[in-house]
Amino acid sequence: MFRTQQSGTLFSFNYEGKTYEIAGYTNSAGESANYLTYRENESVQFRAVDHNRSGIIDQIMSGSISIMEANKIYQAGIRIAMEKDLFKNIQRDRTFEVAYNEYQLLVETYQKRKGEFHNRFILFDLNWELIGSFWDDDSDGELERVESGDVELDFAQNLYSIALQRAGESNRLHETDENQKIISKNSSRSRELAGVSQ
């Protein structure tokens, strides 16, 4: 049996009187993830993961903390890492972001398999505090499910439609023969979210 070899980084930071860790790992297949961990007396109280280092916690692996609260801590850690120049940008080429009223709208396209895509829509306030994240599982322009946050799906759908429209106006939206609406590749972004480096 073969074991995937991993390389990684570890960054500790203080937030609201507690010490947290962000551990970044990349395996030999090039897949990467960040893990946010909080311990008390060497005992893990919670662990959460950002599966693709997009800057957003995707899943709570253990412990009783909400995804929203974990993201608040995680993004505070990223800001601290940036201030210490320990923040490494990861280029994401299928991402589109736009400001709209009091929101920052972010659409990311992921390829599930050849010819099949899904979109993740992430809603922030103007200070980049996470409000909610949602999935368009078949990239047809309709959100199917809430990943995190307390925002109604109908409200998020309206903002998602605006984000897709703006992506189209910016020549960043590609519609496939199967009517999938995906973000086209772009080599530059105005704001990068990524993992920490040491």
Q: Quickly state the pLDDT bin for 27 (edges 50, 70, 90).
A: low
Q: What is the structure's pLDDT at 58?
A: 83
Q: What tens digit of pLDDT does each residue of 65-75 get? A: 998 899 999 98
Domain boundaries, the chain: 6-83, 95-183
pTM of the model as a whole: 0.66
Q: What is the mean pLDDT of the chain?
A: 83
How far apart, in whole angstroms, are the C-alpha atoms of residue 106 and residue 96? 6
Strand stretches in the chain, DSSP E: 6-15, 18-27, 32-40, 43-50, 59-62, 95-100, 103-113, 116-125, 130-136, 145-149, 173-175, 181-183
Higher pLDDT, 32 or 24: 24
